[in-house]
Chains A and B, each alone.
Chain A
Amino acid sequence: MMSSGAERSAVEGPRSTALPVTPRDPSTALGMTARLEGELMEISMGPQHPSTHGVFRMNVALEGEVVRKLKPVFGYLHRNHEKIGENTSYLGSMPYTDRLDYFCSMTNNWAYALSVEKLAAIEVPERAEYLRVILAELTRLQNHASLLGFLLSDMGAWGTPLMYAFREREIILDLFESLSGSRMMCDYMRFGGCRCDLPPGWMERARKVVDAFPRFLDEFERLIVSNEILIARTQNVGRISGELAINAGITGPMLRACGVNYDLRKVDGYGFYPRFKFRVPLGDHGDCYDRLMMRVLEMRESIAILKQAMEQLPAGPIMNPKVKIRAFKPPAGEAYGRIEGPKGELGFYLISDGGPNPYRYRVRPPSFINLTVLEDLCLGHTVADVMVILGSIDIVMGEVDR
């Protein structure tokens, strides 16, 4: 089981000394008497594990059933995204951004469009900004809904919650399909606006979806929130302090679950978010349960934003006519555009040397950076909890490995 001197091994150091048992060791709390003393077993979870949300591997060192060390192994889905971005035109990178976090292509598009707009100082028409807000919030709804489904699926609630979540997600994806032509790879936004205007009848359908969504949320909450099994599995599991979260660069719902009030929609006020009234839900304990509830509460706020945005949506052009998408050459300089994606701060850093391709193209993916604290979250918990913790971080491997 042990490989001495292997750099990628999770187990390091001499094995003769017995490992100290910390007070938070749940195995003692569970009253398990027969436990492997001082012997670590190293197992490799993934990359073909059904709960790792793609191809992701963890080298876990276990003492009995308790995680003592955990080393994540990335890169199975590496597709050279940033280098491709440096070799294609600014327009050509837009469809590739869909494939980063393939659940939230609309927000990826927006983040990239925002940084190009910053780089070339492009104005965006009012209607396009409203459409972006509407689509980003719809994306947030479907991302959070499917995340809750996946998380419950990881906990052993096979099928049912996931199918309910996917049913709602499907309706939103139908909206995306009728607008942009594709369910997941929308490729809808362009620098200086959006690609095409709403098809006839779209807004009425979207209103119906948004009006019907609270019913799903109420039902879903009744399904999970007070469920004793869920509470036992998530409360006090994978706790993270606000201080550690800030130091590790965690963003998004995971940071807010620790009680840190940091939402780029409020902090940066990009797009037209300052025009809308919404609250930022905050957690208290920073455990899996708070992270899960954070998603439920955020969906409610997203619905509030959607209703305001749909009411205020003005008529007008959706594309800045001065921008030519082909042979687009922004002036030399650099820009960092960031938005509050459903998973956290999604940023694109671009350096232009005045040519048709970016000189440097860098993505700041929220799930990758949120994943860096995985070991701190998992230490002292059982193997079964690792999956719950991983699920509550909300990762998409397309974005982590790029």
Chain B
Amino acid sequence: MIGSGVLNGMAVTLRNFIGSYFEKDRLITVQYPEEREALPENYRNFPFLVYDTDDAEAGLRCVACKICEKECPPQCILIVKSEDKKPDYMGKQQFYPQVFDIDISVCMSCQICVEVCPFEAIKMDKVFELSRRERFDALLMRKDELAKSNTYYHAIHPLEAAEVDANLAAAAAKKKPAIEPRPTPNATT
């Protein structure tokens, strides 16, 4: 019968409309700014720098080796390595980044910098509400904006951060540690 196909289709729409009141998998939207869904553990957005202890300056894991700057596909990282060495929070003399800028308006969130970093110093953040009113430079993140504590890292990627800490502890236990062992995140406040 002509028209039965259309009526069949209408029945489907009706079923979906009524079903959206009763079945959860037919209504999967949320009212965004008021309701928020939890982000998955692996969610990634833009990179940040991890520091241990409370001191964002001395606790920074980054030693300005510039590997991420070289590997970054869209070339959004700028690092200026320090001339001198400064003691880190463990008292070990280290180079440090004098300038560490990431232009996150250029960054494409590929997390290659995270993969290539041998010091577990750069990780992916989960912040996504980053719109700015200014036109220039507002999304150029400086070192002090990028530096975030290990506690924060544990809060956003708990499983990954625990694994990273275990790896670092194992590396420190070996004869030539990549970096010094650090206190557990619970010890830091």
Chain B residues near A21 (CB-CB < 8 A): none
Chain B residues near A170 (CB-CB < 8 A): 28
A325-B115 in contact (CB<8A): yes
Chain B residues near A199 (CB-CB < 8 A): 40-42, 159
How distant is B72 from chain A, measured CB to nearest CB, in Å? Answer: 8
Q: Does B2 contact A (CB under 8 A)?
A: yes
The proximity string for B residues 36-57 relative to A, scoring 1 for CB distances below 8 Å and 0 otherwise, is 0000111110000000000000
B67-A326 in contact (CB<8A): yes
Residue from B9, B28, B43, B124 with most neighbouring chain A CB atoms (10 Å): B9
How distant is B137 from chain A, measured CB to nearest CB, in Å? Answer: 24
Chain B residues near A179 (CB-CB < 8 A): 42
Chain A residues near B109 (CB-CB < 8 A): 182, 185
B8-A91 in contact (CB<8A): no
Chain B residues near A94 (CB-CB < 8 A): 110, 112
Chain A residues near B187 (CB-CB < 8 A): none
Q: Does A372 contact B (CB under 8 A)?
A: no
The complex places the Cα of A227 from the Cα of B2 at a distance, in Å, of 9
The proximity string for A residues 164-177 relative to B, scoring 1 for CB distances below 8 Å and 0 otherwise, is 10010011001001
Q: Does B6 contact A (CB under 8 A)?
A: yes
How distant is B105 from chain A, measured CB to nearest CB, in Å? Answer: 16
Q: Does A226 contact B (CB under 8 A)?
A: yes
CB < 8 Å: which of B6, B15, B16, B110 contacts A227? B6
How distant is A283 from chain B, measured CB to nearest CB, in Å? Answer: 20
B40-A227 in contact (CB<8A): no
B41-A187 in contact (CB<8A): no
User: Given A164-B16, A222-B12, A326–B71 Cβ distance below 8 Å?
Assistant: yes
Chain A residues near B2 (CB-CB < 8 A): 228
Q: Does A44 contact B (CB under 8 A)?
A: no
A95-B9 in contact (CB<8A): no
A177-B43 in contact (CB<8A): yes
Of all chain B residues, the one with the shortest Cβ separation from A230 is B5
Q: Does A219 contact B (CB under 8 A)?
A: yes
Interface size band for A: 35 or more
Q: Does B127 contact A (CB under 8 A)?
A: no
A325-B41 in contact (CB<8A): no
CB < 8 Å: which of A99, A212, A224, A326 contacts B116? A326
Chain A residues near B116 (CB-CB < 8 A): 325-326
CB < 8 Å: which of A167, A195, A223 contacts B13? A223
Chain A positions 297-314 with a Cβ under 8 Å from a chain B Cβ = none
Q: Does A43 contact B (CB under 8 A)?
A: no
User: Given A185-B108, A226-B5, A228-B3, A178–B41 Cβ distance below 8 Å?
Assistant: yes
Q: Does A180 contact B (CB under 8 A)?
A: yes
Chain A residues near B134 (CB-CB < 8 A): none
A182-B44 in contact (CB<8A): yes
User: Given A92-B71, A177-B43, A223–B12 Cβ distance below 8 Å?
Assistant: yes
Chain A residues near B43 (CB-CB < 8 A): 177-178, 181-182
Chain A positions 225-260 with a Cβ under 8 Å from a chain B Cβ = 225-231
Of all chain B residues, the one with the shortest Cβ separation from A183 is B43
Chain B residues near A231 (CB-CB < 8 A): 5
B5-A88 in contact (CB<8A): no
Of all chain B residues, the one with the shortest Cβ separation from A175 is B40
B71-A178 in contact (CB<8A): no
The complex places the Cα of A196 from the Cα of B9 at a distance, in Å, of 42
The complex places the Cα of A326 from the Cα of B69 at a distance, in Å, of 13
Of all chain B residues, the one with the shortest Cβ separation from A177 is B40
Q: What would 9 more interface pairs be, CB under 8 Å, given A187-B110, A199-B42, A223-B9?
A: A92-B71, A167-B28, A181-B42, A182-B109, A185-B108, A199-B41, A200-B159, A226-B5, A227-B9
14 A-B pairs (CB sep. < 8 Å) = A88-B73, A92-B73, A92-B112, A93-B73, A94-B112, A95-B108, A164-B16, A178-B42, A181-B44, A187-B110, A199-B41, A223-B13, A226-B5, A325-B115
Which B positions have Cβ atoms within 8 angstroms of A? 2-6, 8-9, 11-13, 15-16, 25-26, 28, 40-44, 67, 71-73, 108-112, 115-116, 124, 159
